[in-house]
Chain A
Amino acid sequence: MEPRRAAALTFALIAVGCNGRSDLTDYTQVNALVGVSGARRLSRTEYDNTLRDLLGDTTNSGFGTLPPDANDPFDNDYRTQLTSPGLVEALESLGMSAAARVVADPAKRAAVVGCAPSGPGDAGCFRDFVTRFGRRALRRPLATDEIQALLGLQSFSREQNDFYTGVKLVIQALLQHPEFIYRVEVGTPVGAVGGLYHLNSFEVATRLSYFLWGSAPPDWLLDLAAVQRLQRPEEIRSAAGRLLEDDRARARVNRFHALWLGYHQLPHSAELTRALQTETAALVNKVIFDDASDYFDLFQANQTYLNDFLADHYGLPRPGSSSFQWVSYGASGRKGLLSHGSFLSAGAKFNDTSPTQRGIFVRTRLLCQQVEPPPPTVNVDQPPTSPTSNCKADRYAAHATVGSCAACHRKLDPIGFGLERYDRAGHFRTTDDGHPECPISGDGRIDELGAFNGPAALEDLLLASGELERCVTTQLYRFAMGKQESPDEAVLIGQLATKFHGSNRSFKQLLLDFTSHETFAYRRDE
């Protein structure tokens, strides 16, 4: 593909240009690769994760109280984030109640404070706490005057004759601090190129941990930052590797997949939702972390993770247990993630699957193509009808006969019809719901790639297309940067996709290659 070759070429030039050294000196080159970025507010999930890791608070209090994030499909696009009276009220209220919960729990407060006060006015212990917790909360050391200002809150401890009153107020203050709520990056201007900045080590630590954990950097990472050990790509790579050892990285990688493939919320009963999400998370963990095998195994796995309940749901053989076990797909015709009910739930409409919605989903999420919205004169709230048939295939064929609809729907509906034998919860079927007289062929096609029948064959087609590596890299980049890429950032994405391909598609390698890419410690002004 033309763009791919161009991307690889640019990468080669840069590799030569920097002579194998990790610190680039040609900032014109790096500037061309670094994407613009801006201050990003913690998403609701990141806020809850951060409170969990800073305070041991597992209430997920932010979720129902902070304004909802716009999932499109990722929940962290900073350009859609708006401040509002409701936001600052929520942050104040959440900060107050989280701080109150911590000081009411002797074990948690001991962990947060980190020293045993000799009395309400113990200034040494208070200062230690402010200095240490301040660094964790703002993800950088506090300046002397910042520490001084927070120490002033100890007057409330003395007034109440209670050391922890002041502790509570310090927590309350830091949880509302704009540098807690927003990941602000400043950096140092570099080279003669205007608008390019090299991030300091603490900013790199924050980028790393929110990318890989969706949460605040741990103390060891801040310690590395404090001794400037997060500047060179190999240093960043080593820290990223350590972050990936933690379960929080698994949760984060799963969240990326869930938002990308649309199963973070499922329109099913709580039990089925939980079971389907468990199934898909198990495959993601297995391929990316446990086996650390070819990422394409995610779409080629011939076994899946079921309990009796979920096996019954699919009509697959029961493992004979209420706990989950790996079960072979056998001759069921299923394989990989696209056979999961989680994925197949996406895009239901009109009490049924929507071949159009599934087509849009495959094109936008898995092939990273743009699908233009229907013109404003089109009513998308009514299922297509046919004067001669009740069968879905005939009704949708009507689309193809209307001149203005045909051009788009020809690219979309046949993809959905290739999945049509799987209903919106992933059950297999051979006739339309409620219409046994309407057989479903399951034949589908992607115009530029070829024909297929069923999710397994679709997966083969997507893997053979050469597009999937590039697309998953693009989606990961969007998730990492909290925005849609601009055209010039496609070069960097191309480089990463090429490396991904060359690493036997190790997803962990992709994460490491991104974080240790020469551009990771840079930002460009908006």
Chain B
Amino acid sequence: MPSLKISRRSFLQGAGGVAVALPLLEAMVDSAPALADSLPKRYVVCFGGQSLGGDGDPLHNDYVPNIIGPNYDLKSALAPFADHNNVKNEISVVSDLWIPSAEGGPVPPGGRVDGFHVSTLSPLLSGVRSSSTRAVSNGPSSDQLMVDVLANGTTFRSLVYRIQADWYLQSSPPEGHMISYRANGSGNPIPIPPTTSPRLAFNTLFGNFTPQDPAEAARQEFELRARRSVLDLVRTSSAALLPKLGRADRVRLEQHYDEIRALENRINAIPPPQTGTCQKPDDPGADPPIGGAMYDGDGQIHYDQNLGYSDEEQRARVFCDLIRMALTCDLTRVVSLQFTTFQSHMNVYQLTGQTFDLHELSHSAGGTLEVSKGIAWHMKHFGYLVAKLRDTPEGSGSVLSNSALVFLHEGGHGRDPSSGLRYSAHSTENMACLIAGRAGGLRAGQHVVAAGMHPANVLLTAMRAVGYPEVSLGEVAGEIPGLRA
């Protein structure tokens, strides 16, 4: 069965932009070996809003393996990697990372201000030092830098999703909601609000896939034609509206019209042939309802009543399935998947049985082993995503062979420069992160100790593995030695 996917758009460009019949495309797919170099490369960045250890616990984490190199041991935070036929063989752990802190002085390059929360956002995602504890990035995030390298021609330049459905903290303004930042015309990073609805993601990604049933296909053909007419009508309203507006409103509305035009292009894109591994996923159904506010930690109250929880378990599974298929069908080559927000107040009772939110897990007396249960929930779904990509054949390997995925954690564990405490979750000492995929000679299933290096070095390694030409990310330069063959 032909399993190779080629870029439809680049193929069509080569064919003069003319829509072609499926058999020709299939014929080209059958000549797979000749096209080995044209297999799409993918870049995925994931984030979990937690540090690795608990306050006051001398144990920095239950995450970093004892064994260095291959066949590393799984501690409790990474225990889910034993599943899916030992998916740990596809995932490398990079340990002994850090983000330098200001230590009362100026913030160093790639560093952070001393106050912890959200201070890691900018250096972690963009490699550029933070200047405050506000949730802003001072540089474009790695995924949006990769859009310019990888996405050209794919239907979706990037997917920006978040699993945690709400901020959940009642009386403070939302922080840490966004992990993707693109550079605007003036080079300033602008956040991209994530899609939090799996239902919407499904509709958007697969709404124009042709159903097998002829009657359904005819109905859908009609609907697509109607949608195009509708969007065309909506977009052309700009001609009358924009000239009437003042400068600020014109910019605001122009950006919205640009997004409408981009949506039109996505809808006009020819859906990929559903052959081999590219298939429309099962309909995920309605989104789970959004839960209410969460106490900022608690040991007793009503954890089973949907407080601070919107069935993120199901949301995570659906998003991972959708991302897997979007990558397989080459609908996109860049994904940003935020599992939880910075300083996440998601209630974990339904997930781990603990009567806390993620943030309080780090600060309550439970210590590092309790924190690790929260991390392990993230790992369960990350492992699932990696396994799905591994099990999706492509060319002579799998989709995973042509991908680079990174999982970032908000913090490490160790000394907190603001309090001076030695064993604090408010620390960027002893950080670690994960890298998966085999694109660009990435070595899978390794534990690599990268003393003194920065999480952005891991991002850069993954970026370069899928074709990023630069030698630095923000203010952080160089790859992690030993991660690529």
Complex Cα gap A171–B480 (Å): 54
Q: Is the CB of A361 within 8 A of B171?
A: yes
- Whether the pair A178, B117 counts as a contact (CB closer than 8 A) is no
Number of A interface residues in the complex (CB < 8 A): 76
What is the minimal beta-carbon distance from A33 to any residue of chain B, in angstroms?
A: 19
A93 near B226: Cβ-Cβ < 8 Å: no
Q: Which of A332-353 contact B (CB under 8 A)?
A: 345-351
Give me the 7 closest cross-chain CB pairs, A-B, nearest first: A376-B115, A72-B173, A526-B248, A86-B195, A265-B293, A67-B193, A376-B113
CA–CA, A95 to B124, complex, Å?
Answer: 37
Q: Which residues of A contact B287 (CB under 8 A)?
A: 64-65
7 further interface pairs, Cβ-Cβ under 8 Å (given A72-B173, A269-B307, A346-B170): A39-B252, A178-B256, A184-B253, A348-B295, A375-B115, A382-B55, A526-B248
Q: Which residues of B contact A273 (CB under 8 A)?
A: 292
Are A262 and B229 in contact (CB-based, < 8 A)?
no
Contact partner, A179, options B193, B200, B241, Cβ 8 Å: B241
The DSSP consensus for interface residues of chain B is loop
Contact: B418 with A379, CB < 8 Å?
yes
Contact B204 A93 (CB under 8 A): yes
Interface residue count on the B side (C-beta < 8 Å): 88
Q: A38-B252, A267-B294 are in contact. Are A89 and B229 (CB under 8 A)?
A: no
Report the tally of A-B residue pairs with Cβ distances under 8 A. 229
Say yes or no: A351 contacts B299, CB within 8 Å. Answer: yes
**Max chain A Cβ within 10 angstroms of own Cβ: one of B166, B171, B260, B302:** B171
Given A71-B174, A374-B115, A379-B115, is A270 in contact with B306 using a C-beta cutoff of 8 Å?
A: yes
Decide: A348 and B296 in contact? CB cutoff 8 A. Answer: yes
Please tell me if A63 contacts chain B, counting CB pairs below 8 Å: yes
Complex-state Cα separation, A440 to B233, whole angstroms: 66
A89 CB contact (under 8 Å) in B157, B195, B256, B305: B195
- Say whether, besides A176-B231, A265-B170, A347-B171, A378 and B193 are in contact (CB < 8 Å): no
B116: chain A residues within 8 A (beta carbon): 379, 381
Chain B, 230-277, CB within 8 A of any chain A CB: 230-231, 233-234, 236-238, 240-241, 244-249, 252-253, 255-257, 259-260, 262-263
B260 to chain A, nearest CB (A): 6
| B200 A93 Cβ-Cβ under 8 A | yes
Given contacts A90-B200, A178-B253, A376-B113, is CB(A85)–CB(B263) below 8 Å? yes
The interface stretch among A19-27, A144-152, A234-242 is: A144-152
Q: Which residues of chain B come closer than 8 Å to A145, judged between CB atoms?
A: 240
Q: How far is the CB of A499 from chain B (nearest CB, A)?
A: 30
Tell me the minimal C-beta distance from A470 to chain B in angstroms: 22
Q: How far is the CA of A93 from the CA of B267 in the complex (A)?
A: 12
Q: Interface of B with A (CB < 8 Å)? A: 55, 102, 104, 113-117, 119, 132-133, 156-157, 160, 165-167, 170-171, 173-174, 177, 190-197, 199-200, 203-204, 222, 226-227, 229-231, 233-234, 236-238, 240-241, 244-249, 252-253, 255-257, 259-260, 262-263, 287, 289-290, 292-299, 301-302, 305-308, 359, 363, 416-419, 421, 424, 426
Whole-angstrom CA separation of A436 from B347 in the bound complex: 29
- Given known contacts A70-B173, A85-B262, A376-B114, A64 and B119 CB-to-CB distance under 8 angstroms: no
CB contact between B256 and one of A83, A172, A186, A348 (< 8 Å): that residue: A83
Are A90's CB and B195's CB within 8 A? Answer: yes
Sample of 22 A–B contacts (CB below 8 Å): A64-B287, A68-B177, A68-B196, A70-B177, A85-B156, A85-B263, A87-B256, A89-B200, A89-B263, A92-B231, A92-B263, A152-B233, A169-B230, A172-B230, A177-B237, A179-B241, A184-B245, A267-B170, A348-B296, A351-B296, A378-B115, A381-B363
